[in-house]
Structure 1
């Protein structure tokens, strides 16, 4: 949990927070409605962060915590290119906007025509039941196969898995995405 607070400006910069840790770099939020700066300037903000030996670029596919800001077209394409140029991973945070909530696509990152290395999923997968998941590439998943036993008290809970499958069934059968 501490690591997630470290990378969450609305947490570490908010009430009770202790500010941005030195190992975390914060790019400008691309909000062309309130700040009509160019896409190139927003992407350059990410590029500057990545030049500081960043291991990953994580971004909500639609900025929920930043004020429900829809990213400008091409933003993730440009920032993912900068990240991949430096060897950083691209992480799409779909915790709030995934599972068809953007309407036109099942995943918010799809609206930007990108494919992330890691996708984090949360709230919609359980429709109120506490459930989350991480999806990644085979290479990244295999890098964790180092002989150390993985243990998780709640991982693989069959009731939770059934709830997640039921949510997917309802989304499909009731064509919720089209609404």
Structure 2
């Protein structure tokens, strides 16, 4: 029985490693950059979230395996960021106690700090929740990524490695 469980665990661990290696390229991708706004026939909401940086146009870039020069990085798109900000503002006005609202600290009680870092894996002890249905229906994450809620922050994380790619924090969204 123990040997069987060990084999299953070994295969699961191997699959996790393979998935993580598959996403390793995006883990080292440059955040930001000087991408050109090109229509590639994709959904417009993806255009805000996926950016291509052609090396011939910007003078830099990593050589891809097929001989082309193309970088790819993911972030929360401007449209999705606006939707999240509006949602957080409405939710903040309804649920933040007056004493914390005056402090303009994002309704965080004293001593509570962010429990994640952009660019790092979401720690295992951080509890995240799915987005409220009315917000999730308005957003469209890039395939392979998902929006989650940690406290009152909305994070874009990789589904496989749980790496925090981008975030809209309550503090940055309130009042915009």
Could you say which TM-score interval applies, normalised by the shorter chain?
Answer: under 0.3
Structure with larger RCO (C-alpha < 8 A, sep 6+): 2
TM-score of the superposed pair, with normalisation by structure 1: 0.18
Whichever of the two has the greater Rg, that structure is 2
Q: Which has the higher strand share?
A: 2
TM-score of the superposed pair, with normalisation by structure 2: 0.18
